[in-house]
Amino acid sequence: MSIANESVSEPIDYRLYVPASWTEDQERCAIVGVPEELEFQTKQQFALAQLT
């Protein structure tokens, strides 16, 4: 999520979106360092969490 004006865009919240195919594969997540507590969120849920 970013805020922007005519001359600049500044990130105010950023998170890595992880698709369901990844969160369902615990071995894959462990290999690349995805935290175990990360749960899949739809893109709409993900966006709402950033706004909150």
Taking the C-alpha atoms of residue 45 and residue 29, their distance in angstroms, rounded to an integer, is: 21
Give the other-Cβ count within 10 Å of 45's Cβ: 11
> Residue 36: what pLDDT?
87
Q: 1-52 pLDDT, tens per residue?
A: 888 999 999 988 888 888 899 888 999 999 999 988 888 999 899 889 888 8
Taking the C-alpha atoms of residue 29 and residue 36, their distance in angstroms, rounded to an integer, is: 8
Prediction pTM value = 0.59
Taking the C-alpha atoms of residue 34 and residue 31, their distance in angstroms, rounded to an integer, is: 8
Domain ranges of the chain: 2-51
> Residue 9: what pLDDT?
94
Indicate the pairing of strand 9-11 with strand 2-4.
Answer: antiparallel
Give the containing element (helix H, strand E) for 2: strand 2-4
